[in-house]
Structure 1
Amino acid sequence: MSDLAREVLDVVLDAIDIPYAATAGDDETRQKILDQRLMQLVVSLRTLRDDPGRDAAWTLAYLREKLTEHPAAGYRTWDEACALSREGAR
């Protein structure tokens, strides 16, 4: 696999592989974050596909920058809820 292909896969996973929410209310927040990240991802992937002369490294760096504007934060994750549950059981 080429370095560029690996970098594309890495940034795709960075965009969409965010922690699951603990509750339905948390999932609403998570979904909003994921929607924004998906939109940025789609725009970047279309740019890479449709403009082969475009600097792919720049496009991927720009996407990473845009993803930081929508961090996977502001909601309680499933893992956090499980950790709190385990602490309460002690």
Structure 2
Amino acid sequence: MQDRIPDGAVHELLAAILKALDIPHPATVGDTVQHDRVLNDRAMHAAIALRGVLDDKPLMTVEWTTAYLRERLAGHPPTGYVTSNQARAALAAGKTWSEAVTLPGGEG
């Protein structure tokens, strides 16, 4: 497998996998379910990409697989919950804790 992977391709794939798995933590326990749902979807796509690349006779190139993974991740952004960084920023801006951990539109 090593001789068919161009320089930088592995780095790009690993960077995409890290992006898939390294999503912001939720600000509250109540947002853990949404965070975990997003993380699970993203981890599944990362695992599929890894399986495809590590296959003895892969159907696609590493570059194609990396691009496809990035497309899948764009469809599962880490949204739908308030992150701990967002809550800290809201508190620093003078919002109350309740305001800081509520999504715009009252979804959180």
Say which SS state the counterpart of residue 81 (structure 2) adopts: coil
TM-score, scaled relative to structure 2: 0.75
Q: Does 1:61 align with 2:67?
A: yes
- CA RMSD in angstroms comes to 1.5
User: How much has 1:54 moved relative to structure 2?
Assistant: 2.6
Number of equivalenced pairs: 88
AA aligned opposite 2:90: L
Deviates more, 1:33-42 or 1:51-60: 51-60
Distance 2:71 2:59 in 1: 21
Give the share of equivalent positions with the same residue, in percent: 39
TM superposition outliers: structure 1 runs of 4+ over 4 Å: none
Equivalence for 1:74: 80
1:85 to 74, 88, 91: 91
Structure 2 spans left out of the alignment, 5+ residues: 1-6, 96-108
Equivalence for 2:29: 24
TM-score, scaled relative to structure 1: 0.89
Distance 1:59 1:46 in 2: 10
Structure 1 spans left out of the alignment, 5+ residues: none
1:38 to 40, 43, 51: 43
> Bigger relative contact order, structure 1 or 2, given CA contacts below 8 A and separation 6+?
1
Larger Rg over CA atoms: 2
Cα distance change on mapping 1:88 and 1:29 into 2, 3 Å:
same
User: How much has 1:84 moved relative to structure 2?
Assistant: 1.4
